Amino acid sequence: MHNKSITELAADLRAGDYSSVELTQYFLDRIQRMDAGLNSFVTVCSDEALSAAQAADRQLQAGQGGLLTGIPIAHKDIFCTKGIRTTCGSKMLENFISPYDATVVTRLKAAGVVNLGKTNMDEFAMGSSNETSYYGPVRNPWDTETVPGGSSGGSAACVAARLAPAATGTDTGGSIRQPAALCGITGLKPTYGRVSRYGMIAFASSLDQAGPMTTSAADAAILLQAMAGFDERDSTSADQPVPDYSAGLEDDLTGLKIGLPKEYFGEGLDDAVAKSVEEAIAEYRKLGAEVIEISLPNTHLAVPTYYVVAPAECSSNLSRFDGVRYGHRCEDPKDLEDLYKRSRAEGFGDEVKRRILIGTYALSAGYYDAYYLKAQKIRHLISDDFTQAFKQVDVIMGPTAPDTGFRIGERAGDPVSMYLSDIYTIAVNLAGLPGISIPAAPANGKPAGLQIIGNYFAEAKLLNVAHRLQMATDYHKAAPANLGQ
Amino acid sequence: MSLDHADVKKIAHLARVDVSDEQMESIAKDLSNILGLVEQMSAVDTEGVVPMAHPLHMAQRLRSDEVTETDARELFQSIAPQTEEGLYLVPKVIE
């Protein structure tokens, strides 16, 4: 049952092969049995899940509901869930029970989805390995000594281990795509503004975007359909029509122009990952695509620019955690300043503090022009690289991450080396473009991701291109050993 | 660009985060390393480039000033560290 796609599960539910309650219980049992070794969940919502499944069963019995009615999924613990603890991977929110649902949660609930629980993540989504979580690192189901990537590491690991058929994630600099690559699943970061950010705890507001994490592009299309769309509660929500993401999945790729940026295949890229990506691209040639070498000349500036823009926005966003209205408060504050300073020092972990401090510095008097303003200008140059490229090609392809899952602890002491894990994904967020990571052939037995970048609002095209590879190959069907019965 | 302890102290105060003396050295080192990474930006000629604040260059949307939510003060305050008669409590500010 755990290897079935959403479409297959939906058909089985309708045929009465099993009920949503049975399906939900099946995945809850798997989580109970297998997650101790992975730590992919922070909170499991058994009671809420079973009662939502009962409601879904009533709908199904009445012949109502849609494709997602009764399908269990997991939410990254960055999405506010009414009445359910929402920690964002932080001690700051250890006891935070959200008074409302994020729009993503509301929409998926309305589509009939059952929430199995909240997945582990890097604290406040700041990290590329899931090691910054206050709730402990997540382990990669392919090799539990290695990281699953981050920040949506819990979502990626639980889908890879088939503890949930699908999960939600968020991506500010690669946090859906990089863990999807390292765990061998499909992860889509939509165009900035495509999915509402309301109720999604903010990290860097001009970059943050939510998306689906699944075992196939076809499932990602189904989930995105329910997640996407205008929301007046998000001031940067895109007021654009939502197309049918499943309709064109099988469209022919003859004549598709694929751009390969030479900057994505240079120094720093692991040889085995390069080989996997090239093998996938060879498959696209067989499918009739034309491959063109392109250049994104400002690629090397993406990481430096990001580490000004994202921390600056984070320092502003995280000022809301002050120990006054919700979240952690220190014991016996002697005055208001002491209350702020100690509550924040105790509630935030090291990486979050580093980014708050860097951001505060970049925005402080005398440094704003040299850092933040300069970064915003370079952001424009990076974005223009893509605009030029999309005049020549339909999609851009390359590796998602420079290497496969590294060992837990290996890079923890060196923040800058960790930041380079996102070297191929960050520019996409700076430009606001959609990108998807899908499994390529394993590299030395470990998952490797192919990243496909599209033009603004071209999610349907990305899903089509991804799905065609998944029709032609079995890369996405590879799963970790010891998945159980 | 390298930051010394006095710089870190000043930034930490602006950010309202307590930094202990023991952490000072490693934080100064990490922040200096990050600034070293960021330093690559200064070599780029950005003369005449317009800063990009929004990926889609969208203008901020406005809405009419109408009441759309009902009062949920009790619910919101139920998760606060300390409240009294509908107010959030903090240590005394004015003597």
Q: Do B76 and A325 touch (CB under 8 A)?
A: yes
Q: Do A336 and B41 touch (CB under 8 A)?
A: no
Q: Is A413 in the B-facing interface, judged by CB distances under 8 Å?
A: no
Q: Do B58 and A357 touch (CB under 8 A)?
A: no
Once rounded to an integer, what is the mean pLDDT over residues A260-289?
96
Whether pLDDT at B1 is above 90? no
Delineate the domains of chain A, giving CATH numbers in brackets: 6-250 (3.90.1300.10), 300-376 (no CATH)
Which residues 391-410 of A have a C-beta within 8 angstroms of B?
A: none
Which residue from A436, A437, A439, A435 is spatially nearest to A473, judged by alpha carbons?
A: A439
Q: Is residue B14 part of a domain?
A: yes
Residue A416, pLDDT score = 87
Three-state SS letters, B44-56: CCCCCCCCCCCCC
Average pLDDT, chain A: 97
Q: How far is B91 from chain A (nearest CA, A)?
A: 5
Once rounded to an integer, what is the mean pLDDT over residues A389-416?
94
Whether pLDDT at A484 is above 80? no
CB pairs under 8 A between A and B: 163
* Domain assignment of residue B18, given as a range: 5-37
Exactly one of A76, A109, A189, A446 is catalytic; which is it?
A76
Q: Is residue B25 part of a domain?
A: yes
Q: Is residue B10 part of a domain?
A: yes
Exactly one of A98, A151, A196, A315 is catalytic; which is it?
A151
Q: Is residue B71 part of a domain?
A: no
Q: Is residue B86 part of a domain?
A: no
Whether pLDDT at A467 is above 70? yes
Residue B53, pLDDT score = 84
Return all residues near A5 (Cβ < 8 A) that are at least 6 apart: A165, A215, A216, A218, A219
Average pLDDT, chain B: 92
Whether pLDDT at A239 is above 80? yes
Q: Is B15 in the A-facing interface, judged by CB distances under 8 Å?
A: yes
Residue B54, pLDDT score = 83
Whether pLDDT at B95 is above 80? no
Domain count of the fold of chain B: 1
User: What angle is formed at CA A211 by the lines to CA A208 and CA A212, rounded to 5 degrees?
Assistant: 155
Confidence grade of residue B93 (pLDDT, cut at 50, 70, 90): confident
Q: How would you class A366 by CB atoms within 10 Å of its CB: exposed for 0-12, middle for 13-18, buried for 19 or more?
A: exposed
3-state helix, strand, coil in chain A (%, to 5): 45, 15, 45
Residue of chain B with shortest Cα separation from A429: B55
Q: Which residues of A touch B41 (CB under 8 A)?
A: 301, 304-305, 308, 371, 374-375, 378
Residue A417, pLDDT score = 85
Q: Is residue B15 part of a domain?
A: yes
pLDDT in tens, A83-113: 999 999 999 999 999 999 999 999 999 999 9
Which residues 130-169 of A have a C-beta within 8 angstroms of B?
A: none
Tell me the residue ranges of DSSP E strands in A126-227: 166-171, 186-189, 209-214
- CA-to-CA distance for A222 and A214, rounded, in angstroms? 10
pLDDT in tens, A282-298: 999 999 999 999 999 99
Q: Which of A234-243, A367-376, A377-386, B58-67 has the lowest mean pLDDT?
A: B58-67
Whether pLDDT at A485 is above 70? no
Confidence grade of residue A470 (pLDDT, cut at 50, 70, 90): very high
Closest CB to A376: pick one of B15, B51, B78.
B51
Q: Which among A236, A357, A382 is the top mutation candidate for probing chain B, defined by the most B β-carbons within 10 Å of its own β-carbon?
A: A357
Once rounded to an integer, what is the mean pLDDT over residues A300-317?
97
> What contacts 24+ positions apart, CB below 8 Å, involve B1-10?
B1/B32, B1/B35, B1/B36, B1/B39, B2/B28, B2/B32, B2/B35, B2/B36, B3/A361, B3/B28, B3/B31, B3/B32, B3/B35, B4/B28, B7/A361, B8/A357
Residue B46 backbone class (left: φ over 0; alpha: ψ -120 to 50; beta: rest): alpha
Q: Which residues of A touch B46 (CB under 8 A)?
A: 374, 377-378, 381
Confidence grade of residue A418 (pLDDT, cut at 50, 70, 90): confident
Confidence grade of residue A415 (pLDDT, cut at 50, 70, 90): confident
Whether residue A477 lies in the annotated active site: no
Once rounded to an integer, what is the mean pLDDT over residues A443-450?
96
Q: Do A376 and B60 touch (CB under 8 A)?
A: no
Q: Is residue B13 part of a domain?
A: yes
Q: Is residue B16 part of a domain?
A: yes
Once rounded to an integer, what is the mean pLDDT over residues A44-60?
98
Which residue from A50, A44, A438, A430 is spatially nearest to A209, judged by alpha carbons?
A: A430
Q: Is B24 in the A-facing interface, judged by CB distances under 8 Å?
A: no
Residue B7, pLDDT score = 95
Once rounded to an integer, what is the mean pLDDT over residues A374-384?
97
Tell me the residue ranges of DSSP E strands in A228-311: 257-261, 290-294
Closest CB to A344: pick one of B17, B27, B82.
B17
Exactly one of A155, A175, A276, A315 is catalytic; which is it?
A175
Which residues 34-73 of B have a C-beta within 8 angstroms of A?
A: 34-42, 44, 46, 49-56, 58, 60-61, 63, 72
